[in-house]
Amino acid sequence: MRKRIGAKILSVFMLILVICLAGIGIVAVQVKNTDKINQNIGNEYLNSIQEVNTLSVNEAYLENDLKDYMLKEDKESIRSDITSAQGNVLSSLQALEDNAVSER
């Protein structure tokens, strides 16, 4: 009788061990999936964030040049700065479009 009770207790512990090991395996798979997602964010989305920052800086330069154009008398010298700033904004927009990720 004692052996049967011991065997039943041992079988319950073995079942608990198997369930725990299965849970650990599931958690390990989920951690690997999370690492892949983090790597995807780091590789693809970070470039887009940097391009948005560059676009913001170029837009601020363009805004400043346009303000100078409206306030100053010598408009010819500022036109080249405006053209350059417009080119920088357009190139930043193109780079941002190139980094765009279609998958979500």
For residue range 36-90, list pLDDT tens digits in order. Answer: 988 888 877 777 788 888 888 888 888 888 888 888 777 777 787 788 888 888 8
Listed by start position, the domains of the chain span: 2-98
Q: Is the pLDDT of residue 99 over 80?
A: no
Residue with more model confidence, 101 or 27: 27
Q: What is the pTM of this model?
A: 0.51
Predicted local distance difference test score (pLDDT) of residue 1 = 60
Per-residue b/e over 37-67, b at no fewer than 16 CB within 10 Å? eeeeeeeeeeebeebeebbeebeebbeebee
Question: What pLDDT does residue 21 have?
Answer: 96
For residue 101, pLDDT beyond 70: no
More confident residue, 97 or 57: 57
Sign for the CA dihedral angle at 10, 11, 16, 22 comes to: positive
In this predicted structure, what is the pLDDT of residue 70? 83
- Return the amino acid letter for 101: V
